[in-house]
Structure 1
Amino acid sequence: MKKITRFFWFCSGAHVDTLRKYPIEHNKYVGIGATIFFTAVFAALSGGYAMYFVFSGSAFAVGFAILFGVLWGTAIFNMDRYIVSSINKEGSTNQQILQATPRILLAIMIGLVISRPLELKIFDKEIREKLKTAYLKGQHTKIDSLQRTYNQKYAQELGKEKDLKKEKDSLERDINRSRYELNQEVFGDKTNQTSGIMGYGTYAKRKEEVLKEKQDRLKSVTDNLGQNEDYLSRRKDFEGVTSTRLFTDKQLDSLANVAGFADRNWALGQLSYNVDGSRDLDTYMAMSFIGYLFILFECLPVFVKLMSPKGPYDTAIAKIAEANIHAAERDKERDINVTDKTYDHNLDVDIGRRKQIISNQSEFDLSRHSYD
């Protein structure tokens, strides 16, 4: 327990040797340190899952996830530890709140970053279903768009095909009716369209000629229609109308498995809305509470440090800091004095040297004058 306590003291950013002197403060900093530690653990899990998702399918996905998870958790741990340890309890309440405001904002951002990958994992099943629905709807839209473009681009050919089909249907009906009338004429059935004379006579030959003309026209229309349909079929293949089909369930599952972070993040945001665009309050509240929980968890050490009254440990740390400042100032003044004395000594030496040089020059000039 002593080792665990010391570890959580270290996590809280406290000065362990000073904190050990004040037992009344031990539990408070154990709680702060434990909160910081478990926040870093959640950050490591979140970052590791995010990296595993990015490299999903790779042979090194697990290794990258572990490495990045450890690095991300360590970075969050160090940041939280600095945020808590840097709050000074010497000022007034307003000063402490003002001092902690940037740290709280940073803690909120960290909480959001930590919570998002975990939310993606928690709502993984719902995200997959939302993605499958979105992909299927997108494929419907793509097919409709291709068909609409195809209809506009080949409107003339499609109109011609429609007219040929209509004419073909009309000719087939006329041929059937003419063939029936020809039979009636040959067998001597008396109607408004036949003579009632049995045998293959003049009326029968005339009706047969009319029937043959209609059959020839039908053959020509059928050939033209076939050529037109073949052309439009090749155009459909070229425009992608024929090859584009709705996704099967297996294809939708595969697409949902390889969906990127942007698609999954979009699907997570869409979970809080119904099909008609209205807010799905239950899902929205569930997602919001998860995010709020991590934000609160991240801000909790800062709040604990702000709400806790000033204790003997804070007073001792303030005195140590003040003593260190005074010691640093004394060392600075001493260094300045030593520098000044060294400068004065060097200046005196330099002046002495110059005087000696001048004296030697004077003696040299005097000797030269005597020699002359």
Structure 2
Amino acid sequence: MNRISRFLWFCSGAHIDTLEKHPTDHNKYVGIGATIFFTGLFAALSGGYAMIFVFKGGDLAWLFSIFFGLIWGLAIFNMDRYIVGSLDKNASSNKQLLQATPRILLAIMIGIVISRPLELKIFDKEIKEKLKVSYLNGQRSKIDTLNKAFDKKYTIEISKFNDQKAQRDSLAAAIKSDRQKLNYEIFGNKTTETSGVMGYGPYAKRKEAELKQREQNLDTLTADLRKTERFIDGRKQFDGLMSEKLYTTKQLDSLANIAGFADRNWALGQLSFNADGTKDLNTSLAVTFIGLLFIFFECLPVFVKLMSARGSYDHAIENAEKVQVHLSDKDRDMEITVADQIQDTRVGIRAQQRVDELKS
């Protein structure tokens, strides 16, 4: 426990040898040091997680992520240690508040930077689902855009194809109706368009001849339709429409897993909105409060030191600083005195040398 306490005192930026002599302030600086340490730890985790997306795909991505995460954590730890350690508890309340203001603003910025990657990890499942929807909508929009551009480019061919198809369908329906009428005529079914006499008579022969001619026309029209269809399909293949398809579930999972930091950050922002664009209050509050939690955690050491009363350790530090300043001033005065004496000696030596020269 003694080693842990000394380590946390070091984290708090306190002078350990002086703090050991003042037991009443031990717990305060243990708390401050622990907060700074865990802030650095969270920063390391946050930075390492963010670096995963930067180096994703590399053979040593995990190693680089750990390395840069540790560097980032140590940088934040050192900055927090300086922010807290530089607050002067021996100054007046107004001066302390003035000193703390820029430090609090810096702590807020650090808290925002730290919280974002951790929020991405907390809402990882929801972010992946949002990304899948986004990728699917993007692919659907891309296909729609290609189809519209193709329709505009080949308006004449598509219009011809539609006309041929309509003519084929109309002719096929008419042939089917005439075939039924011919059967009625042959088998003696009485209708408004048949004689009702059974047998293969002149009327039936004439209807069959007309029917064969129309079937030949249908075959010719079908051949032309297939030719036009093959041309359009070839153009679609050439323009890339045939290769563009909606993503499968497996493809969407793969895309969501390899999404970069920017895409995930965008998806996290979109979690605060419903599909119809309205505000999702519950998710928005959850994301906001998690971010505020990390910001408050980052500012906590500064607040603790500001709110804490001036203890015996602070008095000891003030006295030590005064003694150090006094010794520094005394040393500086001694240095000035010695320098003046050396200068006077040099002047005396030069004067004596001048006198000796004149005598000689």
Distance 2:356 2:114 in 1: 77
Counterpart CA distance in 1 for 2:23 and 2:184 is: 122
Which whole-Å deviations, capped at 9, do the CAs of 1:116-143 have from their partners, x for residues lacking one?
A: 1111111111111111111111122112
Alignment partners' CA distance in 1, 2:188 and 2:67:
99
Q: For residue 152 of structure 1, what is the aligned residue in structure 2?
A: 152
* 1:129 pairs with 2:129: yes
For residues 47 and 271 of structure 1, the distance between their equivalents in structure 2, rounded to whole angstroms, comes to 22
Matched AA of 1:235: R
CA distance in 2, matches of 1:197, 1:58: 85
> Aligned pair in 2 of structure 1 residues 32, 187: CA closer, same or farther (>3 Å)?
closer
Structure 2 alignment gaps of length 5 or more:
none
In 1, the alpha carbon distance for the partners of 2:226 and 2:80 equals 76
Matched, 1:232 2:204: no
Q: Contact conserved, 1:107 with 1:299, CA < 8 A, in 2?
A: yes
Q: Which residue of 2 aligns with 1:248?
A: 248
Matches within 5 A, 1:13-28: 13-28=13-28
The whole-number CA distance in structure 2 between the counterparts of 1:139 and 1:298 is 42
Which residue number in structure 2 is paired with residue 102 of structure 1? 102
Residue 342 of structure 1 and its aligned partner are, at CA, apart by 3.5
The whole-number CA distance in structure 1 between the counterparts of 2:191 and 2:281 is 77
Give the unaligned 5+ runs of structure 1.
Answer: 361-372
Q: Displacement of 1:265 after TM fit?
A: 1.0
In 1, Cα distance between equivalents of 2:128 and 2:323: 61
After superposition, the C-alpha distances for 1:81-100 in whole angstroms (9 at most, x for unaligned) are 11111001222212111111
Contact 1:189 1:198 in 2 (8 A): no
Matches of 1:230 and 1:265, distance apart in 2: 45
Q: What one-letter code is carried by the residue in structure 1 that aligns with 2:238?
A: F
TM-score by length of 1: 0.85
Matched, 1:316 2:331: no
In structure 2, the partner of 1:59 is 59
Offset at residue 76 of structure 1 (A)? 1.4
Which residue does 1:269 correspond to in 2? 269
Amino acid in structure 2 at the alignment position of 1:134: S
Letter in 2 for 1:256: A
Taking the aligned partners of 1:21 and 1:170, their CA distance within structure 2 comes to 104
Question: Is the 1:132–1:252 contact (alpha carbons within 8 Å) kept by the matching residues of 2?
Answer: yes
Return the offset for 1:51: 2.2
Task: Assess if the C-alpha contact under 8 Å between 1:127 and 1:271 holds in 2.
Answer: yes
Match of 2:280 in 1: 280
Aligned 8 A contact 1:46 1:114 in 2: yes
Distance 1:65 1:197 in 2: 91
CA distance in 2, matches of 1:251, 1:199: 64
Q: Note the alpha carbon deviations across 1:49-74, whole angstroms, 9 max, x for none.
A: 22234334543233223222222221
Q: CA deviation at 1:308?
A: 0.8
Q: Report the secondary structure of 2:241's partner residue.
A: coil
**1:228, distance to aligned residue in structure 2 (A):** 1.2
Query: Residues 358 and 249 (structure 1 numbering): CA distance in 2 closer, same or farther, change over 3 Å?
Result: same
- 1:338 counterpart = 2:338: yes
| Residue 164 (str. 1) matches residue 164 (str. 2) | yes
Distance in 1, Cα, partners of 2:153 & 2:181: 44
Sort the Cα spacing of 1:329 and 1:182 in 2 relative to 1 into closer, same or farther, 3 A.
same
Counterpart residue identity of residue 117, structure 2:
P
Question: Which amino acid letter does the alignment assign opposite residue 155 of structure 2?
Answer: A
CA pair 125-181 structure 1, distance change in 2 beyond 3 A: closer
SS in 1 for 2:88: coil
Give the distance between the partners of 1:273 and 1:357, measured in 2 at CA.
97
Cα deviations by residue, 1:146-186 (Å, 9 ceiling, x for unpaired): 11111122111111111111222233344455666777889
Secondary structure of 1:88's aligned partner: coil
Hey, what's the Cα distance between the residues in 2 that align with 1:293 and 1:186? 90
- Native 8 Å contact 1:130 1:271 kept in 2: yes
Structure 1 residue 189 displacement after superposition = 9.3
The 2-side partners of 1:57 and 1:197 are apart by 82
Measured against aligned partners, the alpha-carbon deviations of 1:2-27 in whole angstroms (never above 9, x if no partner) come to 22221111111111121122221111
- Once the two structures are TM-superposed, the CA of residue 258 in structure 1 deviates from its matched residue by 0.5
For 1:249, the aligned partner's letter is T
Partners of 1:299 and 1:306 lie apart in 2 by: 11
* Structure 2 counterpart of 1:364: none
Give SS of 1:25's match.
helix
SS at match of 1:246: coil
- Say if 1:53 and 1:354 are closer, same or farther in 2 by CA, change over 3 A: same
- Return the alpha-carbon distance in structure 2 between the equivalents of residues 335 and 213 of structure 1: 125
Deviation, 1:48, is 2.1
On the 8 A contact 1:188/1:199 being kept in 2, the answer is no
Shift of 1:346: 3.8
Does the C-alpha gap of structure 1 residues 200 and 353 become closer, same or farther in structure 2, counting only changes over 3 Å? Answer: farther
Give the letter for the 2:165 counterpart.
K
Q: Which amino acid in the other structure matches residue 255 of structure 2?
A: L
Aligned length: 359
| Partner Cα distance (1:197, 1:132) in 2 | 68
1:21-59 deviations in whole A, cap 9, x for unaligned?
Answer: 222111111111111112112222222222234334543
Q: 1:300 aligns to what? A: 300
Report the AA paired with residue 226 of structure 1: R
- The Cα of 1:354 is off from its aligned counterpart by 5.8
Two-structure CA RMSD over aligned residues (Å):
3.0
AA matched with 1:137: N
State the one-letter code of the partner of 1:54: V
Provide the TM-score with structure 2 as the length reference. Answer: 0.87
